[in-house]
Structure 1
Amino acid sequence: MSIFNFKKKKPEQKTDSVKPVGQLKDELKKTAAKTEPESNLKKPASAGVLAYKNLLYPLMTEKSTMLTGYGQYVFAVSLNATKTAIKKAIQEIYNVKPIKIRIIRHQGKKVRTGKNTSGYLKAWKKALVVVPKDAKIDVYEN
């Protein structure tokens, strides 16, 4: 009567043969030796996901292009971005360590779409990044 025995487990037979300790150590050394050269390889220089979430795009205005001559670059950043997050993002993407970062938050402007209907444009944040004199960021190419 198999109906009453469906919850009872049958004893399983072990088919694995027991290996001596010396063979196990040799196998572990071989697998470790295979994985080490892969970890020593350099990963391609790619920016993290958070870097692209914090830095949205470089701002191209007359004033910002003038500031590039002084080693200052202007970027639009997300509203949640902090100075340390922006610094890490600049280091990841452009491989330049910023000296100073200033953040300016712009309020959304009030706009009208009709006689009595009005709304607001999106609020945004910009960051002014100062880099060392010998370092440059190619904002126009990237």
Structure 2
Amino acid sequence: MKTIYDIIIRPVLTEKAVKDNEKKNTLTFEVDMNASKTEIKEAVEKIFNVKVKEVRTLIVKPKPKRFGFRSSGYKKAWKKAIVKVESEKPINIAELV
């Protein structure tokens, strides 16, 4: 059985994710590839004590990466979850990390 900390791997702290957190009250996470939207919703509600309005997920495709001069490979694919919460003020994820 997966725990809530197995479902949510880490927050995504990019400029776009932080801006969306401030303006649209959304939180962005890297989640387990096999996690469903309901599992993600329950995990976020338990960890942050907020009510979740909506969960959107997408799979980020692997991108090419170079290892030195001759060899190359790909970064791994990962699943991103964008969670919209119903709180009055935005949750500052950067302070929690």
Q: Which runs of 5+ in 2 are unaligned?
A: none
- Contact 2:58-2:79 at 8 Å conserved across structures: yes
Ranked by relative contact order (alpha carbons within 8 Å, sequence separation 6 or more), the top structure is 2
In structure 2, the residue matched to 1:119 is 73
Equivalent residues of 1:111, 1:120 under 8 A apart: yes
1:107 maps to 61
| Pairing partner for 1:57 from 10, 23, 35 | 10
| TM-score, normalisation: structure 1 | 0.59
More strand by share: 2
Counterpart in the other structure of 1:84: 38
Report sequence identity in percent. 37
Give the length in aligned residue pairs.
93
- Between structure 1 and structure 2, the one with the greater Rg is 1
Question: Shift in Å at residue 119 of structure 1?
Answer: 2.2
Question: What's the RMSD between the two structures over aligned residues?
Answer: 1.7
Aligned to 1:137: 91
* Cα 1:57/1:91, change in 2 over 3 Å: same
* 1:66/1:89 CA distance change after superposition, 3 Å: same
The one of 95, 100, 108 equivalent to 2:49 is 95
Pair 1:75–1:132, CA change in 2 (3 A): same
What do the CA deviations read for 1:5-29 (whole angstroms, capped 9, x no partner)? Answer: xxxxxxxxxxxxxxxxxxxxxxxxx
Question: For 1:118, what is the secondary structure of its paired residue?
Answer: strand
| Structure 1 segments unaligned to the other structure (5+ residues) | 1-48
Matched, 1:74 2:45: no
Q: Secondary structure at the match of 2:20?
A: helix
**Contact 1:76 1:125 (8 Å CA) reproduced:** yes
Secondary structure in structure 2 of the residue aligned to 1:137: coil
TM-score by length of 2: 0.83
